[in-house]
A and B are shown apart, each in its own frame.
Chain A
């Protein structure tokens, strides 16, 4: 259970001994830890670059950025297999990067180019990579939650070992299909890991004004689905919860529900002027509980990385994003003559 509501002093990250004991218990190698760090840095750079590109007038449409939520994406990805299926929400960049998407193709799609994942038809909100079982982001809040029932059902009927990871936000949990899907996934004992990425706001609506009983994850009790609610800004805690959940699901024991409490730094989308939350609140999260800052402290404290190495990884991540922008900007626009393509298979 997460302990805080984002107010107050710097989050106590715990002692070196506690961290090392946890990492040992979870059998996380140094390489895995460094990988988590690299993933989070890459996501952070992608999101800030996206914002920068938008400010420079290079982005045609909207975007939903996940800066501040990187530990959720990284932690999930470390806990599941690369060939597991992913159904994602509209704030999806981080999850796709963590799943190993081609950053060049993502950036090209973001800029609406023909070389993008969707040949410029989808944009930020609909990136998908069917080669890697990434079934895409969804522009309809909660739209993917019931589709995960179908993916889980197919996996079960085909007697396969992959599972379906279905991620949605706190706002989506109030859509009717959430309840239909929880019921059916539990009823049919399907291999679906449901993850509610609670970043505290559904657009401007504070979760406490939108959900009658918190945590959201306790709703799983109504369907007999085991659940957990964890600090989504602690990447190792996220990993641990997801590992437990994914192992349960993969063992054929049915769905599992994990809620991660996190926070987004940017507004909901490009139109957001943050009128519903204070600058102090945003600063508090950035300064005191930033997921990358917290994890970096652990890595330095446990001498898994030194400051130079941490900086180097961060710089490398930034370079990946810069190169992706170069690739995307050099890519052709879709030819207008192809307008009518892809309507029917």
Chain B
């Protein structure tokens, strides 16, 4: 099976879907000759032309609004917000408009659009270019929030996102762009709202998203050599959230840790934990349920400070050991 990077997998999904469906078009800042700030749309202008790889002025609210308007007329726009932080400039359109149209208009229309947005820290981009705002977006019924961790998932989820009739926030992680994995050339989709057990294990359930999935799997492999078996669950879609897979897992393992890069306060870990402790899995819980989120600070510039601001493998390992060892 061919190996692609996370970035290439998303590009391949866009490319194949634009070939398959002429209603699909891209819009965003610098996505043409420049190829997008991260190079994700590189080569697409030459293949599809200016009409379908539409470069926009720096006007995020109107980029999202343009996607909304076009989707109401049957187009399938995929907008790029250069850094996830900038979606805040377009939040009225995303939240007050797109998320509510199907409902507010009594089900008589829908907004089939995708807004791509790379988030996350680790690139020294400092406080205004490094946030993980997926928890914020989860608060708005009507939106779908997708957050892939692997190239395989990224392609399959992007194809599902474009074909879905609802507004989708497709949250990428900029540090994952270069990570590689096997990605079939074929057209395949991954269902929205379905979590995946990335690694089975009997001792503890760790729920993590995007880059934290990768970090947790590394830790799990290390601990496995000592006989600690960690079950790693990647929700893949944060809204709607597949709580069933998580609850079933905790009922088996009896322990739960949730890891995310987003600031801990108000982060989605709280949502997962509340769902689990309020479920019948409560009876099987053998240890305190814990969350390991980003520190409640803006992301700093300095490399050491930046790393210390979000969970790293050592902390994930420490948390797991403490929970499994009954030390918390």
Q: Which A residues form the contact surface with B (CB < 8 A)?
A: 85, 87, 116-122, 126, 128, 130, 135-136, 138-140, 143, 145-155, 157-158, 164, 176-177, 180-181, 183-184, 187, 341-345
Interface size for chain B: under 10, 10 to 19, 20 to 34, or 35 or more residues? 35 or more
- Kindly state the separation between the CA atoms of A130 and B75 in the bound complex, as whole angstroms: 15
A344 touches B102 (CB 8 A): yes
Chain A residues with CB under 8 A of B69: 87, 146-154, 164
Which parts of B69-114 form the interface with A (CB within 8 Å)?
69-75, 77, 92-93, 96-97, 101-110, 112
B72 touches A151 (CB 8 A): yes
Q: How many A-B residue pairs have CB under 8 A?
A: 133
Could you show 27 A-B contacts with beta carbons less than 8 Å apart? A118-B104, A118-B105, A119-B106, A120-B106, A122-B105, A126-B104, A126-B105, A128-B109, A130-B105, A130-B108, A140-B92, A143-B96, A143-B97, A146-B69, A147-B66, A150-B67, A150-B77, A151-B69, A151-B70, A151-B72, A153-B66, A177-B62, A181-B62, A181-B65, A183-B59, A344-B102, A345-B112
B107 touches A184 (CB 8 A): no
A343 touches B102 (CB 8 A): yes
A342 touches B70 (CB 8 A): no
Instruction: From the candidates A146, A149, A176, A345, name the one contacting B102 in the complex (CB within 8 A).
Output: A345
B59 touches A184 (CB 8 A): yes
1/0 per residue, CB under 8 A from A, across B111-123: the answer is 0100000000000
**A150-B67, A158-B73, A344-B102 known; A128+B59 contact, CB < 8 A:** no
**A146-B66, A153-B66, A184-B59 known; A342+B107 contact, CB < 8 A:** yes
Query: Which residue of B102, B103, B112, B141 has the most chain A CB atoms within 10 A of its CB atom?
Result: B103
- Kindly state the separation between the CA atoms of A91 and B240 in the bound complex, as whole angstroms: 34
A180 touches B62 (CB 8 A): yes
B166 at the interface (CB under 8 A from A): yes
A121 touches B93 (CB 8 A): no
B65 touches A147 (CB 8 A): yes
Instruction: From the candidates B74, B92, B101, name the one contacting A154 in the complex (CB within 8 A).
Output: B74
Chain A residues with CB under 8 A of B92: 140, 143, 177
Shortest C-beta distance, B157 to chain A (Å), equals: 16
B39 at the interface (CB under 8 A from A): no
B142 at the interface (CB under 8 A from A): yes
- Kindly state the separation between the CA atoms of A120 and B97 in the bound complex, as whole angstroms: 18
B66 touches A121 (CB 8 A): no
B277 at the interface (CB under 8 A from A): no
Which parts of B173-191 form the interface with A (CB within 8 Å)?
none
In the complex, residue of chain B having the shortest beta-carbon distance to the beta carbon of A142: B92
Chain A residues with CB under 8 A of B108: 117-118, 128, 130
In the complex, residue of chain A having the shortest beta-carbon distance to the beta carbon of B141: A343
Chain A residues with CB under 8 A of B72: 135, 147, 150-151, 154
B211 at the interface (CB under 8 A from A): no
B59 touches A157 (CB 8 A): no
In the complex, residue of chain A having the shortest beta-carbon distance to the beta carbon of B65: A146
A146 touches B93 (CB 8 A): yes
Shortest C-beta distance, B48 to chain A (Å), equals: 12
Which parts of B150-200 form the interface with A (CB within 8 Å)?
165-166
Chain A residues with CB under 8 A of B107: 119, 341-342, 345
B73 touches A151 (CB 8 A): yes
B46 at the interface (CB under 8 A from A): no
Q: A-B pairs with the 6 shortest C-beta distances?
A: A150-B69, A146-B65, A345-B110, A118-B106, A154-B73, A119-B106
**A140-B97, A151-B69, A151-B72 known; A146+B62 contact, CB < 8 A:** yes
Can you name 7 extra interface pairs (CB under 8 A) apart from A150-B65, A154-B69, A184-B57? A147-B69, A150-B66, A152-B69, A153-B69, A155-B73, A184-B59, A343-B141
- Kindly state the separation between the CA atoms of A135 and B104 in the bound complex, as whole angstroms: 12
A143 touches B166 (CB 8 A): no
- Kindly state the separation between the CA atoms of A344 and B104 in the bound complex, as whole angstroms: 11
A153 touches B103 (CB 8 A): no
B245 at the interface (CB under 8 A from A): no
**A146-B66, A150-B70, A153-B66 known; A176+B105 contact, CB < 8 A:** no
Shortest C-beta distance, A260 to chain B (Å), equals: 23
